[in-house]
Chain A
């Protein structure tokens, strides 16, 4: 799916990255904890999150995340937008919750950026 198709599917608003809407997305990762994004998200994935602070963009940059989808009608701070523009990371915003967004994307063929967490994790 392209970012443009995702935008339409989720009635999302493009806040950063209008020129990158033809970018293809095949996998995604959803979390509100950046620590988990850092542990698991794979390059080229779409990041679904309810966080809106600049660290989301930093994390996306460090991990080569393709684009950020902010869910639950959350709006990024001006600083977040400025940083995303500077680093060239698209931000889309949808009013849908993460579950609904994930469900719609999954129904259109987007998959989790990994099948399973393989290694044993201690109590987190």
Chain B
């Protein structure tokens, strides 16, 4: 499943580099500690976080993540948006909290693979 399809399904609002969101998402990573995400996130995952400063884009870029979704109705800082456009990391925002969003994305990805839970 592509990030832009997930965005459409879950009403995520694009904030940067939407044109780069046609990559296949290989699962997700929820985390608010940059060092943890640096250490543990995997290529192709979509990163769900409440951090909004521009360092998240550097981390997402370095780890080759599919994109970043900022939760809790937080908005990215201006330089975060600029940096995301510059390096081409898709950046979205959601009014859902991380648990709920992760759950919904998990189910969507599973469904795309033919697994249904309910």
Contacts and interface: CB of A to CB of B under 8 A. Distances in A.
B102 interface: yes
Query: 10 nearest interchain CB pairs?
Result: A106-B103, A103-B106, A112-B100, A32-B32, A102-B102, A98-B30, A117-B73, A30-B99, A107-B117, A99-B28
Interface of B: 27-33, 36, 40, 45, 48, 50-52, 72-77, 95-107, 110, 117-118
Contacts of B99: 28-30, 48, 102, 105-106, 112-113
A120 to B, nearest CB: 7
Nearest to B117: A107
Given A32-B36, A36-B50, A105-B103, A117 B72 contact: yes
Contact of B106 (A30, A106, A120): A106
Given A98-B98, A99-B48, A31 B32 contact: yes
A111 B98 CA distance: 11
Q: Which of B30, B50, B106 has the most CB of A within 10 A?
A: B30
A111 B103 contact: yes
19 contacts: A30-B99, A32-B33, A36-B50, A99-B45, A99-B106, A102-B30, A103-B103, A104-B106, A106-B103, A107-B106, A107-B107, A109-B118, A111-B100, A112-B101, A116-B96, A118-B73, A121-B74, A123-B74, A124-B51
